[in-house]
Structure 1
Amino acid sequence: MASGGDDLVKYITEKVVVYIENPRAVHARRKAEKQPWAEKWFGTLPLAWSVWRSKWSRGGESKE
């Protein structure tokens, strides 16, 4: 039975080998496909905040 440290080293080694074997184009494509960190961690909250802020910065125009 392997200890937790051995499993961790094996996992990290496998990830490094896969990364090294992939061409640079794959790395660039994967990096381009990533979501912005704000959307990933906070969902639609940044979108709602930006809409609210844009309405506030225009002077509070309303449809009334």
Structure 2
Amino acid sequence: MAIKTEDYIKYLTEKVVAYMDLPPEVRKEQRSLHRSVRDPWHVRWFGLVPLSVAMWWRQRKRKKEHPSP
């Protein structure tokens, strides 16, 4: 089910107008809230690969510090 071009433009226009009608303080607060919820840059750019490498590296260091008998 595709959206027709006219309907899409109407939807975007409504969103932009609703955003512009908000007071600047509210817009600023929404932006700062969105930034605080965002994932770290390395996760956004590279996905879960950096996280998995970091977990592997920490596990490796722990095994070196406390070798099992």
Q: Which TM class, normalised by the smaller chain length?
A: 0.5 to 0.7
Larger helix fraction of residues:
2
Indicate yes or no: 2:22 matched with 1:12.
Answer: no
What CA RMSD, in Å, does the superposition of the two structures yield over aligned residues?
3.1
Partner of 1:30: 34
The runs of 5 or more residues in structure 1 that have no matched partner are none
Gaps of 5+ in 2: none
Q: Which runs of 4+ in 1 moved over 6 A?
A: none
Q: Residues 32, 21 of structure 1: CA spacing in aligned structure 2 closer, same or farther, 3 A cutoff? A: farther
1:45 is displaced (CA, Å) by 4.7
1:24-55 deviation line (CA, Å, top 9, x unaligned) = 2222212222233626x84x554222111345
Alignment partners' CA distance in 2, 1:17 and 1:35: 28
Relative to the length of structure 2, the TM-score reads 0.51
Aligned residues: 58
Assess, with a 3 A threshold, how the Cα gap between structure 1 residues 8 and 53 changes in structure 2: closer, same or farther.
same
